[in-house]
Copies of this chain bind each other. A is one copy, B any other.
Amino acid sequence: MKIEIPKPSLSRICMVYNLLGELENEGVTLISSNEIGARLGLGAHSIRKDFSFLTEIGNSGAKYDVSNLRAHIGRELKINRKRKACIAGLGRLGSAILNYDMFSHSGYEIVAGFDSNINIIETLKTNIRLFPAYQIPDIVKNEGIELAVIAVPADAAQLTAERLITGGIRGIVNFSPSVIKINSDSVFISNIDVVKEFQVLSAFMGLNEED
């Protein structure tokens, strides 16, 4: 089986999935595409269209059952699957993410941190096990780590990615501003560059400015 779902749809469906979790906690049991859209700032069209990429949701004509829908999405997209993750690069940003509270309820468990600087590994206070960078391939393989965050300086990003891939990593969130080149097309990379976000915002602002 090889389902194809557009990336934007996938991203929105994840938002819906998280929203449904909140709704469950609030005790809401039924919800319409309209209400989902309103809560997420999207059109009801969009929500229903996205759902159409999933197999049989079940109840045409009636509102969605919050718990069923959430379970269905989780199963279909395997978002509910627990996966192990690691952080490569333990500078300010990396060490913040290492202990990031948001992961605790997320199903993703951060089981290792890596840095090329032995000093950092020895002094950083955390419960998570830390290793020197050259051990990335071994640890990733042995621990069965599937996801990684790269938070190393730009000039170390490529090497770090290669080590992760050697270890068998399957998904990477790259916080470094450099472009990572891979040949494997079974490794997924998503890039986050805070400075670039500022630049893009600044450009939008600039287009509305006069002088």
Tell me the A residues contacting B by CB distance below 8 Å.
2-5, 7, 10-11, 13-15, 17-18, 39-41, 77-79, 81, 83, 85, 91-93, 95-97, 99-103, 106, 108, 146-147, 149, 170-173, 177, 179, 181, 186, 188, 190, 192, 194-209
Contact = CB atoms under 8 A, between A and B. Distances in A.
Contacts of A181: 41
Contact of A195 (B108, B177, B206): B108
A209 B78 contact: yes
Given A102-B177, A206-B79, A17 B188 contact: no
The number of times this chain is found in the oligomer is: 2
B207 A197 contact: no
23 contacts: A3-B207, A5-B207, A11-B196, A14-B196, A14-B200, A15-B179, A18-B196, A40-B179, A41-B181, A78-B203, A78-B209, A79-B203, A92-B101, A93-B96, A93-B97, A95-B96, A106-B198, A147-B201, A170-B205, A171-B204, A173-B194, A188-B205, A190-B197
